[in-house]
Structure 1
Amino acid sequence: MGDLTVVEICAGAGGQSLGLELAGFQHRLAVELDENAAATLKANRDWEVAVGDVADPSVWEPMEYAEGLDLLAGGVPCPPFSIAGKQLGASDERDLFAWAVELVGRMQPRAVLLENVRGLSMPRFAAYRQHVKDRLAELGYWSDWKMLEARDFGVAQLRPRFILVGLREEDARYFDWPEPTPYAGTVGTALRDLMAQGGWRGADAWAERANGIAPTIVGGSKRHGGADLGPTRAKRAWAELGVDAMGVADEPPKADYPENFVPKLTTEMVARIQGWHGSDDYRWEFTGRKTSRYRQIGNAFPPPVARAVGAAIAAALNHEGTPRDLSETVVEVMHDPVYVALKEATKPLTIRQIVRSSRGAIDAREIEQRIGRLSRDFHIKEDGEGEERTYVLGEFKGFVGQEDHLRHLAFQAARSTIS
């Protein structure tokens, strides 16, 4: 245990929590909406856990935990950016990414860590990403995005996650993204002992067949039925590994099951695939009924990945290693040249002027399409007609704490199905 402190929002059942603890961070507070996930946190650690909407002032008061805070971390809701969803971004009542950035401005931690699905890295959200970086820069933070896959950090699963790290300049000069430590085994080697627990004689043959890495575990939400292992493509990948992905089993296959039986995974097996290994370091108890346990596990940030990123942040905060030029640490992430042109403009721009401002990065035929995409997350003021039509970038549509934002009504209406 270290002496660095963390406040974690949207903590879930503790994947990121455990990883950060193993990286040397002590929790001042964890905030979580789902009562079952919060119960799991409380069952595993004697932390203070606030249960409820993280953006509700009655649930917690951020400034009570802000003094001298080292890290603000969280896995804010994924549905606004998920490729499997509508990708509503700032228009989704569950979107808390921009709100979390404003929370950084209020609490002023030395570092911030936010993770989300790979959909946030897509062209659709180029302007959203740049808005986040611009806002963090205004607040005094260097920041960088990077895609990390769980299999590159000792987890038997693909699970790409899009990670944002922000630090003060004096600490950022010591930050390096963690070096990969790829998983050396397969789904079979990871789960063979669990699959054999019930005495099933086919466990060894099954483990040999399950000779690849698992597709991304999909926890799903309260809006979508019971527990299964994901969409059609994921189910096909599981079938190739010898797994029935149409549900989650209550127990491992029994001794009297035929050797060619195609098993389902138990929640314990899913947890192993998520990075909760059998070792004492990663031991974790999940509370609630089976479907709830599965969702808690499936929606988590794999602890080994959180540990690796957390350790990199801790090293930067402790000024370990040799400081370097910040430009050397930046990973190029595609941004929207239309957003950049409109943001930097001092007057309304025509399409021709936007093309000129982008220095050839985009042609006129794409401008209207990109402006339409941009208008999902920002107010765009249009004036005039034809080639003289002009555009002005207005305010960000997302929820950043406004008392009169439509998010509040939408959130309350959907409260029972948000997880």
Structure 2
Amino acid sequence: MSPSSPGLQPSLWNEQGDSVQTFKVVEICAGAGGQSLGLELAGFEHELAVELDANAANTLRHNRPGWKIAEGDVANPDIWNPADYKGVDLLAGGVPCPPFTIAGKQLGATDERDLFAWAIELCGIMEPRALMLENVRGLSMPRFSAYRQHVLDRLRELGYIGDWQLLHASDYGVPQLRPRFVLVAMKPDDFQYFQWPQKQDQARTVGETLQDLMAEDGWRWASYWAAGANDIAPTIVGGSKKHGGADLGPTRAKRAWDELGVNARVLGNGPPPKGSPKPVKGKQEGFRPTLTCEMVARLQGWNGPDYKWTFTGRKTSNYRQIGNAFPPPVARAIGGQIHRALSHQGDPQPLVELTKTTHDPLYAVLRSASGFLTMDEINRRLEQPLHASVFERHINHLKQDFKIEIEDGKVAAYRLESFKAFVGQEDHLRHEAFIKPNKIS
């Protein structure tokens, strides 16, 4: 039998067509199914998918009617009970990215939408064999070095080894510049078998990917356009309900689309009509075709027989579902490596991660201190002392995500207090922001 045999879930087969063991996954903040489909193709079966947006949840139900879908705020105990899924093989999710995005305010732990720290705490409740969380590149920046350090320290307390990696979608066949920062964590017995996925085939260009769709209505210039669209796409931005209709991103992204010969100001309803003129690109004035949702989905990785998927709802909602998704081929690549690790395939590797990983030395010093420390006392404990201006800037970054108590005297002294992020507190401000109707199906 083959992966295309009727009635078989694609998760039961690897890319060579061999039967593989399936593992169970609970997916939080599942969106419209990019990560869901990738994990399914990597050999994971969904025990539950949780999603706040009704349109995305409907898309999941349409494509996988047999799945259990919980619709509503993932942190609302009325939506689902994490303890019911204790011992699941994988806990995965794409928690909200606005707290960390470079284009935003980077509020981190003080952003009411931040669920990263809360998701880490689920490991103490659910005790999954593996954890996989993905987010934007901004989380990898120096601004969030202490946040990352806290995550690794907390995982260690819960018995897990964690590692971060910045992955580029174009390294896994997705024709798009889409960096994603991914955290994978497992218990030591499993993590010794985990390796990050190797880069795969070079991504096709936008033109190569979309030429047949551009030519569907007989546009005579489709191949000419495709030859000029000879690079991968900029990062597709799904946007939010607060910011109007669908377009292909901010000003810088629109300039990149101009160079590819694409009109990024609006979203198209169909391919260029047969009589459309010869296209231009760059700064030239003239005709540029628009992209349809189907085209954007291809650029996001829904391309080929394994990646068939239908998006429900209206055009703008479809675009947001697609644009906010984790590319399925990238999720499949990471999921495949997690699957291998849980299956103990290959040779175990020395666990370098058992030695303490330090993302933020200043935070590490304060965290290990029993009392107040002055700047001089902190610098004496650092391998590389910080200049006063750098120290002050670093302290200000820490104060955004952590409560820092400052003792005033002849010389200021500092003590690290609590983490500000939401980890389930009943009195946290996010509860007021996320009270919405919800349902499970």
276, 293, 297: which is aligned to 1:271?
297
8 A contact 1:355–1:364 mirrored in 2: no
- Take 1:263 and 1:329, find their aligned partners in 2: how far apart are those partners? 53
366, 372, 375: which is aligned to 2:390?
366
The 5 A counterparts of 1:11-410 are: 11-45=30-64, 46-66=66-86, 68-260=87-279, 261-277=287-303, 279-327=304-352, 335-386=359-410, 388-410=411-433
Question: Shift in Å at residue 124 of structure 1?
Answer: 0.6
8 A contact 2:161–2:353 mirrored in 1: no
23, 27, 43: which is aligned to 1:8?
27
Match of 2:294, SS state, is: helix
Question: Shift in Å at residue 333 of structure 1?
Answer: 8.2
Give the counterpart letter for 2:37 in structure 1: L
8 A contact 1:93–1:411 mirrored in 2: no
Match of 1:18, SS state, is: helix
- Take 1:365 and 1:337, find their aligned partners in 2: how far apart are those partners? 16
Name the Cα RMSD after superposition.
Answer: 1.7
8 A contact 2:23–2:44 mirrored in 1: yes
Paired-residue identity, %:
62
Match of 1:346, SS state, is: coil
Give the counterpart letter for 2:76 in structure 1: D
8 A contact 2:38–2:331 mirrored in 1: yes
8 A contact 1:355–1:363 mirrored in 2: no
- Take 2:199 and 2:358, find their aligned partners in 1: how far apart are those partners? 23
Question: Shift in Å at residue 100 of structure 1?
Answer: 0.2
8 A contact 1:115–1:161 mirrored in 2: yes
Residue correspondences, number: 411
- Take 1:82 and 1:155, find their aligned partners in 2: how far apart are those partners? 21
- Unpaired runs of at least 5, structure 1: none
- Unpaired runs of at least 5, structure 2: 1-11, 13-20, 280-286
Question: Shift in Å at residue 248 of structure 1?
Answer: 0.7
- Take 1:410 and 1:228, find their aligned partners in 2: how far apart are those partners? 27
- Take 1:409 and 1:328, find their aligned partners in 2: how far apart are those partners? 39
Deviation by residue 1:140-182 (Cα, 9 ceiling, x = unmatched): 0000000000000010001000000000000000000000014
Match of 1:375, SS state, is: helix
Question: Shift in Å at residue 202 of structure 1?
Answer: 1.1
Question: Shift in Å at residue 3 of structure 1?
Answer: 1.9
8 A contact 2:172–2:203 mirrored in 1: no
8 A contact 2:358–2:364 mirrored in 1: no
8 A contact 2:171–2:203 mirrored in 1: no
- Take 1:257 and 1:333, find their aligned partners in 2: how far apart are those partners? 57
